[in-house]
A and B are shown apart, each in its own frame.
Chain A
Amino acid sequence: MTTPRTLFDKIWDAHVVERLPDGTAILYIDRHLIHEVTTPQAFEGLRAAGRKVRRPEATLAVVDHNVPTDSTRFTGIEEPESALQVATLERNVKAFGVPYIPLDDPRQGIVHVIGPELGLSQPGMTIVCGDSHTSTHGALGALAFGIGTSEVEHVLATQTLLQKPAKNMRITVDGTLGFGCSAKDIVLAIIGRIGTAGGTGHVIEYAGEAIRALDMAGRMTVCNMSIEAGARAGMIAPDETTFAYLKGRPFAPKGEAWEKALAYWRTLPSDPGARFDREVRLDAAGIAPMVTWGTNPEAVVPITGRVPDPAEEPDPAKRAQMQRMLDYMGLAPGAPLAGTPVDVVFIGSCTNSRIEDIRAAAAVARGRRVAEGVRALVVPGSGLVKKQAEEEGLDRVLKEAGFEWREAGCSMCLGMNPDKLKPGQRCASTSNRNFEGRQGPGGRTHLLSPAMAAAAAVTGRLVDVREMAR
């Protein structure tokens, strides 16, 4: 009888090339996704050392972070530094023989949207990318995590990483999610509970009835924000939902290979009795639509809640930090979140830009108008998401309501392309980080779900989407 193992343990064990004397493993990497921002220095390093890319075919490059999401991108990127980064990636993929999805390819999109969408991300794989939200791919039952540029270079050259095993954490979400609530509310509630460093040193496995009930887009939303809880990765055991999602996708195994892969994937879920270093339980029924009020994702309350009062915080350092957050966000202690006016609404990012997210936004927007003075953007996660939304007529619903309908990219999630907040602007955003200046210097971010964001757009304020049901 072997020791019961977790999903993480199984994938880890299957990828150890060699254990070094101190316990560090040379860990094999199955898939390496790369983009324009965190790779130029890695390729430069390869060049300087005269090294090659070990497995170009296990690598895929795409541009997403700094590209404009309006039509100007098709006539050349205006901003010289961004244009240089894109040109540098194009030069590097050509020189090193790495497959590349260019800006004018219909499959272009956010790296964490297109990996699963193309069937490149599969159960049991190790997947890395020079981006912390690589945890998204864990939704497929893969071990997926973000790495720095030195590690990008290491993977390009060796197809491995030097790693110490992480600790196992399981977060079980029991019960059924209430009306008007979504995966985004689950993950925000989790981060509110365990904090931004609650997962440090751990890989989180999400389990329980409410997680099982999520579609793949919802599972990706949850795993995506694992890093916001400090975890190295988040993952969900593959099941029939996973297999049905993957089947027939361009890079998914086919025919006999599919059957063989499927048999292997079914062995991956954590064994009964597998040991977790830490267990957390939440009840989905207790989760309401969530909104952040501060400048890190643990500063979150239900939309029915109020801005906390620093005066009630006993720890002086924490009190000072809360005050700093309220000053930055321009919020008063004790004020209700609902009713706070917004200037901008952003629906997009690797957290919430899949077809299901756009459907949820369009369902709220249908027959309504974006409030006077509010700018609202919908940015599909990929060209394929955009195409499908247009086939379903969702673009029309959104445009008629006054939303901007954009090209795929990271857009206003991170303030490094033309989509940015102006200082002082308040934004209801479906992205993942509400750090100071994240969406542009001086910008104020409230993180929430796509349905909540659409509700904010049409009312001009933070509002409980459950009140808008007809």
Chain B
Amino acid sequence: MRPFTTLTGIAAPLPLANVDTDQIIPARFLKTIERSGLGRHLFAPMRYREDGGENPDFVLNREPWRKAEILIAHENFGCGSSREHAPWALLDFGIRCVIAPSFADIFHNNCFKNGILPVRLPRELCDALMEDARLGGNARITVDLERQVVVRPNGQEIPFEVDPLRRKMLLEGLDEIGQTLAHAAAIAGFEARQKAAQPWLYA
């Protein structure tokens, strides 16, 4: 996984609540056996018209937000399905940080596995960042995971919370499976105890 340390970039405002995973990437685009190449389907229902052409009003079809690396949204972002294609599509488009007042659990979890940082901030701070984001290219936002701050274009620093283990994994780009396999002896020990106590689980 590509580490996430600090990111300064253009932020796209998406002032919608309950953006579900079918909006982020509809199920018809999940018929792939790859992780890459999903960026063109990101937000397909909002981003493209029925004839397949771009919807010129959608933020990611406008300059400078075509190059957005940060997304600002409202409550319960990523609700719905467990599809990891949602963070894959964001990542493939170039978005590495989503800032919102709240996230759905599975999406939130999936982000960390892919080098995307989801940042929870109170609604009023998200709204302030939304205003910054609307200014486009002259108003870059910095997300500093090391110091756990979002820096507004005016220099104001907004601290955020992040789970310490997940922060470490992101900062160092660690392979989570490799980390867990270092505990293989403990897993084997657990299995031996469980098998003795609940043999039907191993029948």
A81 at the interface (CB under 8 A from B): yes
Q: How far is the CA of A88 from the CA of B34 in the complex (A)?
A: 11
Q: Which residues of A contact B15 (CB under 8 A)?
A: 317
Q: Are B198 and A433 in contact (CB under 8 A)?
A: no
Q: Are B105 and A154 in contact (CB under 8 A)?
A: no
Q: How far is the CA of A40 from the CA of B36 in the complex (A)?
A: 13
B156 to chain A, nearest CB (A): 23
Q: Which residues of B contact A260 (CB under 8 A)?
A: 198-200
Q: Are A17 and B183 in contact (CB under 8 A)?
A: yes
* Contacts from A to B (Cβ < 8 Å): 17-18, 20, 22, 24, 26, 28, 30, 37-38, 40-41, 44-45, 49, 51, 54, 65-66, 79, 81-82, 84-85, 88, 122, 124-125, 130-132, 134, 146-151, 153-154, 157-160, 162, 164, 196-197, 200-201, 227, 230, 232, 253, 257-258, 260-261, 264, 296, 317-318, 321, 414-416, 423, 433, 435-438, 441-442
Q: Which residues of A contact B191 (CB under 8 A)?
A: 28, 159
Q: Are A164 and B163 in contact (CB under 8 A)?
A: yes
Q: Are A131 and B22 in contact (CB under 8 A)?
A: no
CB contact under 8 A between A28 and B176, given known A81-B31, A132-B82, A436-B22: no
Q: Are A24 and B187 in contact (CB under 8 A)?
A: no
- 9 A-B pairs with C-beta separation under 8 A: A38-B84, A65-B27, A65-B30, A154-B177, A158-B177, A196-B79, A200-B102, A227-B106, A437-B22
Residue of B at shortest CB range from A28? B190
B128 at the interface (CB under 8 A from A): no
Q: Are B200 and A257 in contact (CB under 8 A)?
A: yes
Residues of B165-199 whose CB lies within 8 A of A: 165, 175-178, 180-181, 183-184, 186-187, 189-191, 194, 198-199
Residues of B54-102 whose CB lies within 8 A of A: 74-76, 79-84, 87, 102
Q: Are A150 and B113 in contact (CB under 8 A)?
A: yes
CB contact under 8 A between A41 and B33, given known A230-B104, A441-B26: yes
Residue of B at shortest CB range from A440? B28
Residue of B at shortest CB range from A161? B180
Q: How far is the CA of A65 from the CA of B81 in the complex (A)?
A: 13
Q: How far is the CA of A159 from the CA of B178 in the complex (A)?
A: 13
Q: Are B31 and A85 in contact (CB under 8 A)?
A: yes
B145 to chain A, nearest CB (A): 16
Q: Are B45 and A437 in contact (CB under 8 A)?
A: yes
Question: Which residue of B79, B106, B187 contacts A158 across the interface (Cβ within 8 Å)?
Answer: B187
Q: Are B26 and A437 in contact (CB under 8 A)?
A: yes
B158 at the interface (CB under 8 A from A): no
Q: Which residues of B contact A24 (CB under 8 A)?
A: 163, 165
Q: Are A157 and B190 in contact (CB under 8 A)?
A: no
Question: Which residue of A30, A130, A200 contacts B201 across the interface (Cβ within 8 Å)?
Answer: A30
Q: Are A82 and B31 in contact (CB under 8 A)?
A: yes
B174 to chain A, nearest CB (A): 11
Residue of B at shortest CB range from A66? B31
Question: Which residue of B22, B26, B104, B113 contacts A197 across the interface (Cβ within 8 Å)?
Answer: B104
